[in-house]
Amino acid sequence: MQKRKLGKSGLEVSAIGFGCMRMTGGYGPVGTKQEMIKVIRGAVERGVTFFDTAQTYGPFANEELVGEALAPFRGRVVIATKFGFKYEDDGSGPRNVGVDSRPAYIKQGVEGSLKRLKTEVIDLFYQHRVDPNVPIEDVAGAVKDLIQAGKVKHFGMSEAAAQTIRRAHAVQPVAALQSEYSLWWKRPEEEILPTLEELGIGLVPYSPLGKGFLTGTITEETSFAQEDLRSRIPRFTPDARKANWALVDLIAAIAARKKATPAQIALAWLLAQKPWIVPIPGTTKLERVEENVGGAAIELTPDDLPEIDNATSKIPVQGARYPEDLERLTYR
């Protein structure tokens, strides 16, 4: 697979990465640990070199999974993880009790991530969500210390506002921003993309397939388990799905013309926006990995892109992308 560099950081990764979150829950049933390890290793065999996890996925179980799966390939892959949530254990296991990016907590947490990931250094360490109680300069300074100590290679941020990114970048260069970006969530185009281009920061879009909706496999009749995050998302109510199906129809029509799948068109569209954009679709199935990887081979022409943008701009997407409690954590 072709490679891309995340901005001016020099961090080179496969053009399509792999978001591992759903392999330990969040979007309904998953397979066994060994089945998920097989999928991750299958992705490596197909040219994927960029794998994304976080302390809070599980919590902690996802890092353990990724660490075990990638241990035989450590020299060939880039591992990104995230810090910034606090956990308490009441005897039933760790649970998230809010954001916490105090420097001491970051430095304490990195030791656990290194151990779980079975590695001596984390390639890309993102602040998962901005902590309004800790100056971003202090956060960037803490990661700078970790980089100087040889425990982290690159600093990243997630779902941060443009001005916050600028302030952090002035203390420790930000290699990449992870934010939701797709054909049904284009808010990053307003302020984020121009800021990243100016500063030389890469963009790593999560949910590039609209949490599965843009693939055309989720219909008005689809039901979600209670533990599936989409059961709480306004954009995934039956009425919203029915209204938003026009976007799926549009993508499917383009896919048919290109002899591709809707997922491949959605990924190809992201790749065509900027050469420093690297989407990280997630899946639990090897056949979907193969499909996603194929998105990097789809070429959208200078005529295709305006057509897609013009057509999608006429389709208003119904429903908020997150419940209110989760949306409050973004663009701070």
List the chain domain ranges. 3-327
What is the full per-residue pLDDT of the chain (332 aa) written as tens digits? 999 999 999 999 999 999 999 999 889 889 999 999 999 999 999 999 999 999 999 999 999 999 999 999 999 999 999 999 999 988 888 989 999 999 999 999 999 999 999 999 999 999 999 999 999 999 999 999 999 999 999 999 999 999 999 999 999 999 999 999 999 999 999 999 999 999 999 999 999 999 999 999 999 999 999 999 999 999 999 999 999 999 999 999 999 999 999 999 999 999 999 999 999 999 999 999 999 999 999 999 989 999 999 999 999 999 999 999 999 999 99
Residue 278 near residue 6, CB atoms below 8 Å: yes
Exactly one of 27, 57, 181, 322 is catalytic; name it.
57
∠ CA 96-161-231, nearest 5°, is: 45
Options 3.40.462.20, 3.20.20.100, 3.30.70.1230, 3.30.565.10; CATH for 3-327 is: 3.20.20.100
How many other C-beta atoms lie within 10 A of the C-beta of residue 267?
A: 29
Based on the residue annotation, tell me whether 27 is a catalytic residue of this protein: no
